[in-house]
A and B are shown apart, each in its own frame.
Chain A
Amino acid sequence: MQVSREELLHIANLASLNLKEEEVDNYLLNLQDILNFANIVSKAPVEGLTETIGANDNYNVFRKDEVRVFEDNEALLANAPEKERNMFKIPKVIN
């Protein structure tokens, strides 16, 4: 599949990434290269095979509904670039 410049920019936007003008060509080339290689999966003899969901056969792994309080609240907020009144500060969001 041929990836267009617009498509790459759309994907970068979905991933919340900015690509500089000079980066776009390089990424486009890399992505095309890798996808060309990845296309081999379309030739794999997988007719009738189910998809693997998860890496092992575990199922029904549940937790009891019991409260456990994380004690070190301070450490949870210590890495925040900007905070106010124990909340994370971000630019104003309307809606």
Chain B
Amino acid sequence: MAREDYEIVIGLEVHAELSTKTKIFCSCPTEFGAEPNTHVCPVCMAMPGTLPVLNEKVVEYAVKAGLATNCEISRDSKNDRKNYFYPDLPKSYQISQFDKPLCEHGKVEIEEDGEKKTIGITRIHIEEDAGKLNHNEFGAGSLVDLNRAGVPLIEIVSEPDMRSSKDAENYLRKMKSILEYIEVSDCKMQEGSLRADVNVSVRKKGETKFGTRTEMKNMNSFKSIVRAIDYEAERQIDVIEDGGTITQETLRWDDVSGKTFPMRDKEDAQDYRYFPEPDLVAIRLSDEYIENIKNNLPELPESRRQRYVEEYKLSEKDSKMLTASKYLSNLFEEALKICGNAKAVCNWLLSDVSRILNEKEMEPDQIPFTAPELAKMIELIDKGTISSAIGKKVLEELFENPKDPEEIVKEKGWVQISDEGAIKEVVTKILENNPQSIADYKAGKDRALGFLVGQAMKETKGKANPQMLNKMFLEELNK
């Protein structure tokens, strides 16, 4: 049977760390990157006798996420314990939600080549993150750091509605964008604050039953998710084509070899022994509470996109690209506020900035410069202080070593030459050195003008004002 005869079925469990100031069950800070075991207290270290108290913002953020993904919000919810032993889980149980999650039955829309598709959201629940094991490559053991233990998470479980790695990527990008917009998670994948467990199965087209699925845990880059799904689907098809069967198991994706491997220690069948967390009490949400959150939800990408088309006369396509990332979109709005040139800001972001991001394999939230810096650069071009060619160089510099573009231009000596005397000097020199071009021009070859301007730019290392050069050459040539 050919590969095209198979259909890939994908479901995602997205884990997003919430951007609350404190942990879910204690008042420790959640900031990333602190010295090991400094953001800890008796509660998140699971000292004997300690008790959890739920952070109100965690409930609020989860409800926000639920409303932004069209979920029903549970009026009556609770926390449960999920029991298992692992050194990054200090209580040996994770406080999560089992049968009464905060949000259920939602959906989001994704789009590929103009074709829209709805992905169902099974549920969104709140839970605590685990600590971190640092693996010393040379040392004898591993080291446990509990700074992350107790950082709040929402787990967003999708229906198995995706049919390609592209679908999965689009869905995850969409989810990331929504969570960024409603400001419940900073979604920094490189820091692990957004990660996904990916469930993959394959079946013959037309088959209504799902195949046996495998799960790849803790994936935190779009690229590896796409690669992993493609690889795993291929692998499963190969197994089936060879007459084998798929085992339901948890796999580890290895980015270096580009392969999946069964997780070790699988001889222990898991049995999480969920039961209601007796140290916490019921969560009962009133209609007013939910209504209030709904009314205060920030603008979502769709409506922002519409606004860009109407207010700033941007194209549908550009608006969509800008609003895909809240970070990019915010950068756009802030820079626009300063320099007032929507078209220019949009073009810079979508062409040169995006190109550099691509080259560097960075996400928009990793852009190192600020909106005022970008705006300043555009202003410098608009005022004629620098040319767009120099603008590109300034942008490269902003990525490397962000600071005030005016200073960059001054330091590098990139200020555009707009002094008439100086331009005249250059023009005279170039004309003297290129009599043939003058003759060509007079003979009606317009291209010669371009050549002369180019020579002049070369002579000034790109700093001459191109409009003035053009004008002055024409004046001289037409004398």
Q: Is chain B in direct contact with chain A in the complex (CB below 8 A)?
A: yes
Report how many residues on chain B are interfacial, defined by Cβ distance under 8 Å.
51
Q: Does A41 sit within 8 A of B, measured CB to CB? A: no
B40 neighbours in A (Cβ, 8 Å):
70, 73, 76
Contact with B along A48-81 (1 / 0, CB 8 A): 0000011110111111111111100100110000
Chain B residue with minimal CB distance to A93?
B142
Whole-angstrom distance between the Cβ of B31 and the nearest chain A Cβ: 9
B144 neighbours in A (Cβ, 8 Å):
87-90
Q: Does B54 sit within 8 A of A, measured CB to CB? A: yes
A43 neighbours in B (Cβ, 8 Å):
none
Tell me the complex Cα distance, A91–B86, Å: 12
Chain B residue with minimal CB distance to A94?
B264
Tell me the complex Cα distance, A81–B284, Å: 42
Q: Are A70 and B28 in contact (CB under 8 A)?
A: yes
Tell me the complex Cα distance, A16–B273, Å: 14
Tell me the complex Cα distance, A64–B36, Å: 25
Q: Does B281 sit within 8 A of A, measured CB to CB? A: yes
Q: Are B53 and A61 in contact (CB under 8 A)?
A: yes
Dominant SS among interface residues on chain B? loop
Q: Are B143 and A84 in contact (CB under 8 A)?
A: yes
Chain A residue with minimal CB distance to B61?
A65
B297 neighbours in A (Cβ, 8 Å):
none
Give the residue of A13, A65, A68, A87 whose beta carbon is less than 8 angstroms from that of B134. A87
A42 neighbours in B (Cβ, 8 Å):
none
Q: Are B78 and A62 in contact (CB under 8 A)?
A: no
B133 neighbours in A (Cβ, 8 Å):
90, 93
Say whether, besides A63-B54, A65-B22, A73-B38, A89 and B29 are in contact (CB < 8 Å).
Answer: no
B57 neighbours in A (Cβ, 8 Å):
65
Chain B residue with minimal CB distance to A59?
B282
CB under 8 Å from chain A, chain B span 74-94: 78, 85, 87, 92
Q: Does A20 sit within 8 A of B, measured CB to CB? A: no
B273 neighbours in A (Cβ, 8 Å):
14
Tell me the complex Cα distance, A68–B263, Å: 38
Q: Does B157 sit within 8 A of A, measured CB to CB? A: no
B264 neighbours in A (Cβ, 8 Å):
94-95
Q: Are B283 and A67 in contact (CB under 8 A)?
A: no
Q: Are A63 and B53 in contact (CB under 8 A)?
A: yes
Q: Does B469 sit within 8 A of A, measured CB to CB? A: no
Whole-angstrom distance between the Cβ of A72 and the nearest chain B Cβ: 9
Q: Are B38 and A65 in contact (CB under 8 A)?
A: no
Q: Does A86 sit within 8 A of B, measured CB to CB? A: yes
Q: Are B263 and A95 in contact (CB under 8 A)?
A: yes
Whole-angstrom distance between the Cβ of B57 and the nearest chain A Cβ: 4
A70 neighbours in B (Cβ, 8 Å):
28, 40-42
Q: Are B142 and A92 in contact (CB under 8 A)?
A: yes
Q: Are B145 and A87 in contact (CB under 8 A)?
A: yes
Residues of B within 8 A of A (CB): 20-22, 27-29, 35-38, 40-42, 45, 47, 53-57, 59, 78, 85, 87, 92, 133-136, 139-146, 252, 263-265, 268, 271, 273, 276, 278, 280-284
Beyond the given pairs A92-B135, A95-B252, 5 more chain A to chain B contacts, judged by CB atoms under 8 angstroms and listed by A's residue number, are: A16-B92, A60-B283, A66-B22, A87-B144, A90-B87
Q: Would you give 25 A-B contacts (Cβ < 8 Å), ordered by A?
A: A13-B268, A14-B273, A53-B276, A54-B276, A54-B280, A58-B281, A60-B281, A61-B53, A62-B54, A63-B55, A63-B56, A65-B56, A67-B28, A67-B29, A69-B29, A70-B40, A70-B42, A73-B40, A84-B143, A85-B143, A86-B35, A86-B37, A87-B145, A91-B142, A93-B135
Residues of A within 8 A of B (CB): 13-14, 16, 53-56, 58-70, 73, 76-77, 84-95
Closest 7 CB pairs of A and B: A70-B41, A87-B143, A62-B56, A68-B27, A88-B144, A65-B57, A58-B281
